Structure 1
């Protein structure tokens, strides 16, 4: 072994992402192999499903593979796809390796037969490389692409690509009939990413995509469009550049981005966008450890300044070409939106009377704009229209208050007999309050008010469609009430004599919630009461859930809802509206019952000797016998309110099923490579069988058959 030379029969090795096998191998040193009957593939199977086969080859481990004439094999069958020679780099990360980038063949009805994506790889230095690729079609179309990638360890990495396409579609003699076209298109892409270890406080990233408007449209194959096989996601072009700077605990981000639809030519550009964010801090916190209530007061602050240009390239181009004196400054004024937004919040939490948790908070938003709309009422149209855009600084602000309080109540019941030793009931009552004043009054001057010809009041927002919007009209205040319940039990461990117990959740949740609207103008102050419940039985094998909605308001004899409590109309405390109950379970096989094939010489001669695997011959596929089946039961019913009988003081409440079904699904996997999946169901309400599907899947290693 001192010479490191050898002759080897039957070799299988891996080079990069490729697997290499050879019938006979001559090893001349530690890194160089000469092979006869060589196969190259990315298939990891012992008998590859596809490979490039060649008579002779030279392999320099970790660097390159050089071959003579080679052909492509599919499931061991030679194909007419051949190459005169091959040069395959196996480690493109090494800077000193150059070589051929293998092309592929493509047949396009509009461009003819072509060889595409072939080229050469050039190392430039330790930090940069270059790939030159090209396409060539028999009808004269061609394309070139140059891509350079760069990387500096712990600093940055990126790539720059230039693509040029010269495309002929159809034949020249069909040009009078629209069957021929010639297009020239280009695209430039730059991607840059800074390593997180490059700088502790600064970061720069870029993703720039520039192309002529017809690049996507002209590079698409018409036959793909007709067949529906082309992805249209690339029809939108996106570019972005982002710079991030940490300032202590604060964070400053400056970015610019551009989004463009190449089909409609609509675009949105930020010129630029700067955001400043301060995470929550405690301005009154001291270091003496006294823990006063005001030391828990936390403050959040963020701001964003942005200039946004939004429009259509074709429309803007027409204006620039046809309107005298119309220039880019007019474009910025007509299609641009500008603004600054400040947002902040103050919050804290405190314990009240030892057992109650109180969480108050206040939030504030202020928008700075530099223009506003001025409306005038048109009696002919019976509505107001924008008559002018007034320049000047405007501060548009809104604020709100929030508070919540909750506690926990426990009840424990001890039992001396039976397997259940104790039951604990935990209740969590919660109350929350929120309020926001009416910003639609004349005091704030965010809206203009007019009276139409029918004496209706009309309100028009002076900042409609602006960058950060504006506060809505009407005050908003509500009180939310909720009660959460869980029930747990301590049960003795079966067969245990040491007194050990285990916890079991009898009721995972049983929750109520509703809210009261303080400023409801329609008289319906109370909202719908919602009830949810869930539990798991039989060691979580059976899952039960329930959801229901109940109306606190009553109904007139005509069946109409009225802002009078149902209890006052003698219609019970709550009126049932909808309920949904579901149950689900899953049964599965015991995978320990799976048996492997047993070799003949392990079965003890010609007699079975009680061996249940005697007839499980060698080379038979071992059985997995894995299966599972899932049942889902769903029941939904609602209460319809119909007019009552003549002379009755109440309507009729009619309960009916909206859905009632049982669905069954599962899978069966007899072997490692075969599986069956099925789904069916029964519509009990309609007395019919649902749509049934059965899928058979065969794992073909490199592919999958369904």
Structure 2
């Protein structure tokens, strides 16, 4: 009978509540869709007053905007779902529902989880707070979610009708490509998108329970995922207030990856330009396809610089970047003897088109054009590693293919080459090329071609150039076109190929070449009054045509040395490709005229001298060419015991020899032997390239080649006139573990190399520099085991050049360059870029780099300890892009007078 009492009591309560709900007028108040459930634990008895004491909520119903109207009963606009682990109780007297331990409530797009939840279905309010565990600690704080917004407070009071809430000791996280946490002692939810907070803290620290820094906000307005507008705010580091404060603050919190905003400048100081502010400006996130940054530098002596940068991209179409930099440099002060003023500029444009965009049309650009002394005279620290560049190269090309038969390919290219040493500039504006595919007139297009006749083919190639050679100071002036050369070239090659005795590949061909020029010359006889033989330039169309014949014979020989499958080196294969060629070009003396020189002797010349595509030959050429190429490979036993096949290893990529013999030459018929080769070692980490020039003829006391073989003059068979060796080696901590290192250093954005042998160009104050780096997932390596896994990388480049053209027998170049980086700990990184010139006996440009990860902060120090580029740069600032303006940096510019 005792066991049944609870079920009888439950049935009576159910009848009572059902009668109560149906007794109400349905048009005025809807029924509350809540079912009373039995206690899940018979021994659990909790008093309502005891439960409410753990909420830690101050009753402010008489003063706040969420006041209760007890005279009016509220109602819910939808179905409410709720559950709890230990206890669910409905109080008819208080018109409340109590949920205890892992309580959850779901209503419309609201989700509430907490240790205890009290629902007042008269006022449609809900109270949530923590509960105590067996040790007396407060656990299970509320978790409140509306849509994508999540708030985790100590306690909360929310009204379903007005959508307003009071939240105490809340914590929310805003994701804007990076995490920003917002804490507040008291938050008042005005509506779905506006919150008012008091005594708040904003931080991007990873440790949200004990942040290493935060910004204290006394009062503020918070719009989730959009912005925070605050009054007086100041920065705290390790809970210690700092003097970094503002009377009001605005924190944008857009969900976009990058937002428009101010880029704070970097202060510095120089001896000749005074104090400076560099790389400050504004960044415009215009759209998902392109952006724009306007930056500038200013020096107190009047120098200034302007920089414009934009990046653009469209998926499956194209991508690129455009940069323009201009500097007005003032040295010293006006009135001083060393005062000077100059302007320098630089334009960079990189554009690449996706192959899927248009298979028959392509535009590409790689431009690095500007003042020859730009990198040498610029004080902007982004250009520091690039001042060693001796050449600037630019090209813009457009390629168009016309499919069909015969297919025609059209290409237009503009190219510029600048030498920063002599300030010379060579450009083509533009170069037009057109080529038609090979046509086999005696063979079917879709069939195999056999024999001499069927393999006969011809092509047509056209090339036109407008070539300009000038100097830097004459660019974009009319004088730069005075020496412009325009030329047109038509080439028709005819050839065929066949086999001789199945092993010898033979080709025979002829070439016809016709050149058009718009300017020619005429040499006049020597004038004793003017004391020179004058040259007249004749404007007008003129042409010449040449032709030649050629033939070649070659084969491939294989030599294999087998050592046995039980050996580490199982076999070595040597591939030899000898070839002999013959070429004949007749003399075209019909294009030559005569004039009387200073000595009264008649001399021959051609009016096509100094043309773009050369000049017709006066003497016939009848030469034989010899070449020999070698490739050496090896089969070695694979270290992987599961491998079924041996591994191929390249021992010698190539070793080539070439020379020629002119049959009709009166003297010195043999040309020097050119030897070149290359190979790789250590799993292709080390590249070795070498070359040499061997002259079979001797030289006289003046260094002139004479028609006497070197061995006949008491020397060796060949005279080594020039040799060079270049070695590059790149390894890292993952090299020997079989892993790949994905880290790549790229200085090309500033116009430099694609490695850090000349240092790194970094602007630490611009968070865009580290945007991609911060987004990468970092490998979680335990600190105690880090000493056994120190990540590092090393790059080396060695260059040696030997010269002996006139018995000087000297090393003209002997230098070693290296760069390395190492992570001493998960937070410490150091790097160095330097080199040593063994000929000049001194170190080359040296840069030392130090980086420290301070969790929420980044610390960097770059130092160039010596040379006329000696300088240093110190930076410390918050890593988050949202707060990247909270930084301190200091730089010392190089004193170029040293």
Give the TM-score normalised by structure 2.
0.48
2:486 and 2:517 in contact (8 A); partners too:
yes
Is 1:386 the counterpart of 2:535? The answer is: yes
Secondary structure, aligned partner of 1:378: coil
Shift in alpha-carbon separation, 1:33–1:237, aligned structure 2, 3 A = farther
Q: Choose which of 225, 248, 251 in structure 1 pairs with 2:409.
A: 251
Question: What pairs up with 1:617-636 in 2 under 5 angstroms?
Answer: 622-624=786-788
Q: Choose which of 589, 598, 601 in structure 2 pairs with 1:442.
A: 589
Shift of 1:363: 4.1
Structure 1 runs not aligned, ≥5 long: 182-186, 210-214, 320-330, 593-617, 643-653
Is 1:85 the counterpart of 2:249? The answer is: yes
Shift of 1:636: 10
Is 1:479 the counterpart of 2:639? The answer is: no
Shift of 1:48: 9.6
Shift in alpha-carbon separation, 1:242–1:14, aligned structure 2, 3 A = same
Shift of 1:623: 0.8
1:72 and 1:78 in contact (8 A); partners too:
yes
Q: Quick one: distance in 2 between partners of 1:533 and 1:417?
A: 30
The aligned residue for residue 102 of structure 1 is 262
Q: Quick one: distance in 1 between partners of 2:268 and 2:323?
A: 25
The aligned residue for residue 558 of structure 2 is 410
Question: What pairs up with 1:515-664 in 2 under 5 angstroms?
Answer: 515-518=659-662, 521=665, 523-529=667-673, 552-553=696-697, 563-565=707-709, 622-624=786-788
Is 1:367 the counterpart of 2:515? The answer is: yes
1:584 and 1:632 in contact (8 A); partners too:
yes
The answer to which structure, 1 or 2, has the higher relative contact order (CA under 8 A, 6+ apart) is 2
Q: Quick one: distance in 1 between partners of 2:411 and 2:550?
A: 30
Q: Quick one: distance in 2 between partners of 1:537 and 1:19?
A: 46
Shift of 1:357: 2.0
Question: What pairs up with 1:306-317 in 2 under 5 angstroms?
Answer: none
Shift in alpha-carbon separation, 1:502–1:454, aligned structure 2, 3 A = same
Q: Quick one: distance in 2 between partners of 1:117 and 1:481?
A: 62
Q: Quick one: distance in 2 between partners of 1:677 and 1:317?
A: 41
Shift of 1:483: 3.7
Q: Quick one: distance in 2 between partners of 1:696 and 1:50?
A: 29
Q: Quick one: distance in 2 between partners of 1:159 and 1:30?
A: 41
Q: Quick one: distance in 2 between partners of 1:492 and 1:527?
A: 44
Q: Quick one: distance in 2 between partners of 1:120 and 1:539?
A: 44
The aligned residue for residue 355 of structure 1 is 503
The aligned residue for residue 513 of structure 1 is 657
Shift in alpha-carbon separation, 1:90–1:456, aligned structure 2, 3 A = farther
Structure 1 residues 520-579: Cα deviation after superposition (integer angstroms, max 9, x where no partner): 756333344566788899999999998776654578999997534467789776677888
Larger fraction in strand? 1
1:276 and 1:302 in contact (8 A); partners too:
yes
Structure 2 runs not aligned, ≥5 long: 1-105, 111-144, 153-169, 341-345, 738-781, 863-898
Q: Choose which of 434, 441, 451 in structure 2 pairs with 1:276.
A: 434
Q: Quick one: distance in 1 between partners of 2:636 and 2:339?
A: 82
Q: Quick one: distance in 2 between partners of 1:112 and 1:136?
A: 8
1:488 and 1:503 in contact (8 A); partners too:
no
Q: Quick one: distance in 2 between partners of 1:23 and 1:570?
A: 91
2:263 and 2:283 in contact (8 A); partners too:
no
Shift in alpha-carbon separation, 1:527–1:376, aligned structure 2, 3 A = closer
Q: Choose which of 10, 15, 19 in structure 1 pairs with 2:176.
A: 15
Shift of 1:429: 3.9
The aligned residue for residue 51 of structure 2 is none
Shift in alpha-carbon separation, 1:696–1:131, aligned structure 2, 3 A = closer
Q: Quick one: distance in 2 between partners of 1:634 and 1:30?
A: 68
2:278 and 2:380 in contact (8 A); partners too:
no
Is 1:38 the counterpart of 2:197? The answer is: no
Shift in alpha-carbon separation, 1:147–1:624, aligned structure 2, 3 A = closer
Shift in alpha-carbon separation, 1:34–1:660, aligned structure 2, 3 A = same
Is 1:292 the counterpart of 2:450? The answer is: yes
Q: Which shows bigger deviation, 519-528 or 154-163?
A: 154-163
Q: Quick one: distance in 2 between partners of 1:372 and 1:366?
A: 15
Q: Quick one: distance in 1 between partners of 2:557 and 2:183?
A: 77
Shift of 1:251: 3.4
Question: What pairs up with 1:12-161 in 2 under 5 angstroms?
Answer: 13-16=174-177, 19-24=179-184, 36-39=200-203, 56=220, 58-61=222-225, 68=231, 78=242, 80=244, 82=246, 84-86=248-250, 88=252, 90=254, 101-102=261-262, 104=264
Q: Quick one: distance in 2 between partners of 1:619 and 1:272?
A: 59
Q: Which shows bigger deviation, 248-257 or 673-682?
A: 673-682
Q: Choose which of 607, 632, 636 in structure 2 pairs with 1:462.
A: 607
2:731 and 2:795 in contact (8 A); partners too:
yes
2:549 and 2:585 in contact (8 A); partners too:
no
Q: Quick one: distance in 1 between partners of 2:365 and 2:725?
A: 52
Q: Quick one: distance in 1 between partners of 2:846 and 2:299?
A: 44
- What is the alpha-carbon root mean square deviation over aligned residues? 7.7
Q: Quick one: distance in 1 between partners of 2:593 and 2:353?
A: 50
Shift in alpha-carbon separation, 1:52–1:260, aligned structure 2, 3 A = farther
Q: Quick one: distance in 1 between partners of 2:498 and 2:548?
A: 20
2:823 and 2:830 in contact (8 A); partners too:
yes
Shift of 1:430: 1.5
Secondary structure, aligned partner of 2:525: strand
Q: Quick one: distance in 2 between partners of 1:403 and 1:256?
A: 35
Shift of 1:286: 0.8
Q: Quick one: distance in 2 between partners of 1:543 and 1:147?
A: 36
Secondary structure, aligned partner of 2:659: strand
Secondary structure, aligned partner of 1:21: strand
Structure having the higher Rg: 2
Shift in alpha-carbon separation, 1:24–1:533, aligned structure 2, 3 A = same
Shift in alpha-carbon separation, 1:628–1:272, aligned structure 2, 3 A = closer
Shift in alpha-carbon separation, 1:343–1:487, aligned structure 2, 3 A = closer
Secondary structure, aligned partner of 1:623: helix
Structure 1 residues 103-122: Cα deviation after superposition (integer angstroms, max 9, x where no partner): 63577999999999667979
The aligned residue for residue 48 of structure 2 is none
Shift in alpha-carbon separation, 1:668–1:273, aligned structure 2, 3 A = closer
Shift in alpha-carbon separation, 1:30–1:133, aligned structure 2, 3 A = farther
2:201 and 2:215 in contact (8 A); partners too:
no
Q: Quick one: distance in 2 between partners of 1:200 and 1:176?
A: 62
